[in-house]
A and B are shown apart, each in its own frame.
Chain A
């Protein structure tokens, strides 16, 4: 089968398009596949693929991936479906804080546990120097709430520093 740019439509940023199951099913230029998204969450964070069995993945805006559990036809021109979960435009894919808060409890790798004071600074959007033995890049920051691990949001770990990626509107002084 051919997969040259000539055969592929340009992404229409005004509408939601459902992700193809695999790269071979692609009909829109540059669109990632469902398999690639689920693999990413498994490879990076060890989130079991079956976590997403009842969800569909969509793109609206180049590289902006949405996760949805309701019914819809593709393509679809409405304001929003479900939640934004991932940005695939850059070389390093970046999960959203809202996704991490909703599904991060299923992760068992690349999760950095913070004490209450570090969690407070993370929620306020501050960068902080922290020890971390694992991979650099995007990490799920978590802390303990009422005896259980609770994801706070997405952070970027580089050069001994955890940078909070919590969006401005979600930051809180706690």
Chain B
């Protein structure tokens, strides 16, 4: 937990934060509405005597009281998909509509891409890209198990992504759930901090900036880009969004989120960020007993 000491000045109730990071995380699943309504999925769980708690902020997110959430009938039928509670936030903030063209530029293993398809009633086009071929097979497996027919899967570097293969020139919405230092997954992966260094963070931040810029360029004027990470490092969060608003035609916009969270930062060490970054959300593990996450919503302005 040593690397987290640098967040002491920015996190309220830092001791509660550290305490939460040391507790393992429970099992959460998302109801896959392509295959079952929340009512049907929960009825199936009840039939199998699997206890669950429905998240207040999202009735499609269930906390399961079982050690093997993958060995339930709901999982076999693709009614549910194991997905950390906070990881269900970015697609909800992106708010894709049926029939739209949506890009998930770092999509593997596909939890969020299939959630986007479900939010669109599996109508429209969800381009699920990942640069890692090994992880594409997991993405494809999950897409088929969950019955998502609107997904097109590509294997490319998002930073110089070509639109040539599609019969359209731009996306309506894009999700950048960026590769990151994963500090916020510490409750699931106790070794998440093993290779932690500020140099590593700076390297990843460079990649994140390239991906977010390309996402904004490929999204239509008036369209939406959501940037998210599962890390706390401001270098990978506010600083990346600041870079995007400096270099591309976009602005940070507000969104509703019924989970407890802290506002984005406007300063970190000797750096200052635009005041609009306060509209981003920092979700800490002690807020809602979840993993950690950062989410910012951008509107493309040209």
Chain A 55-88, CB within 8 Å of chain B: the 1/0 string?
1000000000001111111001111111110000
A72–B152 contact, CB under 8 A?
yes
Tell me, yes or no, whether B194 is within 8 Å of chain A by CB.
no
Chain A contacts for B144, CB-based, 8 A: 83-84, 96, 98
Tell me, yes or no, whether A121 is within 8 Å of chain B by CB.
no
Tell me, yes or no, whether A150 is within 8 Å of chain B by CB.
yes
Chain A contacts for B101, CB-based, 8 A: 71
Closest Cβ of chain B to A45, distance in Å, is: 17
On whether A146 and B43 interact (CB within 8 A), knowing A172-B71, A173-B71, A174-B76, the answer reads yes
Q: Which of B71, B77, B136, B148 contacts A145 (CB 8 A)?
A: B77
Tell me, yes or no, whether A10 is within 8 Å of chain B by CB.
no
Tell me, yes or no, whether A54 is within 8 Å of chain B by CB.
yes
Complexed CA–CA distance, A41 and B178 (Å): 41
Complexed CA–CA distance, A161 and B123 (Å): 39
Closest Cβ of chain B to A83, distance in Å, is: 5
A55–B145 contact, CB under 8 A?
no
Within 8 A of A (CB), among B134-173: 136, 140-141, 143-145, 147-155, 165-168
Chain B 95-119, CB within 8 Å of chain A: the 1/0 string?
0000001000000000000000000
Closest Cβ of chain A to B251, distance in Å, is: 29
Q: Which of B75, B77, B166 contacts A72 (CB 8 A)?
A: B166
B124–A70 contact, CB under 8 A?
yes
Chain B contacts for A47, CB-based, 8 A: none
B165–A145 contact, CB under 8 A?
no
Tell me, yes or no, whether B270 is within 8 Å of chain A by CB.
no
Q: How many interface residues does A have (CB within 8 Å)?
A: 34
Tell me, yes or no, whether A102 is within 8 Å of chain B by CB.
yes
Tell me, yes or no, whether B126 is within 8 Å of chain A by CB.
yes
Chain B 29-49, CB within 8 Å of chain A: the 1/0 string?
000001100001001101100
B140–A82 contact, CB under 8 A?
no
B141–A146 contact, CB under 8 A?
no
Chain A contacts for B154, CB-based, 8 A: 78-79
Tell me, yes or no, whether A27 is within 8 Å of chain B by CB.
no
Q: Which of A83, A150, A169, A170 contacts B149 (CB 8 A)?
A: A83
A73–B71 contact, CB under 8 A?
no
Q: Taking CB as reference atom, which chain B residue is nearest A120?
A: B73
Chain B 45-85, CB within 8 Å of chain A: the 1/0 string?
01100000000000000000000001111011110000000
B150–A69 contact, CB under 8 A?
yes
Within 8 A of B (CB), among A145-165: 145-148, 150, 152
Chain B contacts for A80, CB-based, 8 A: 140, 143, 151-153
Chain A 130-158, CB within 8 Å of chain B: the 1/0 string?
00000000000000011110101000000
B149–A146 contact, CB under 8 A?
no
Q: Taking CB as reference atom, which chain B residue is nearest A144?
A: B47
On whether A79 and B40 interact (CB within 8 A), knowing A70-B150, A174-B73, A174-B76, the answer reads no
Tell me, yes or no, whether A123 is within 8 Å of chain B by CB.
yes
Tell me, yes or no, whether A11 is within 8 Å of chain B by CB.
no
Closest Cβ of chain A to B175, distance in Å, is: 16
Chain A 99-140, CB within 8 Å of chain B: the 1/0 string?
001100000000000000000000100000000000000000
Q: Taking CB as reference atom, which chain A residue is nearest B41?
A: A146
Tell me, yes or no, whether B218 is within 8 Å of chain A by CB.
no
Tell me, yes or no, whether B122 is within 8 Å of chain A by CB.
yes
- The list of the 4 closest CB pairs from A to B, nearest first, reads A70-B125, A102-B147, A146-B43, A80-B153
Q: Which residues of A contact B (CB under 8 A)?
A: 54-55, 67-73, 76-84, 96, 98, 101-102, 123, 145-148, 150, 152, 169-170, 172-174
Q: Which residues of B contact A (CB under 8 A)?
A: 34-35, 40, 43-44, 46-47, 70-73, 75-78, 101, 122-126, 136, 140-141, 143-145, 147-155, 165-168
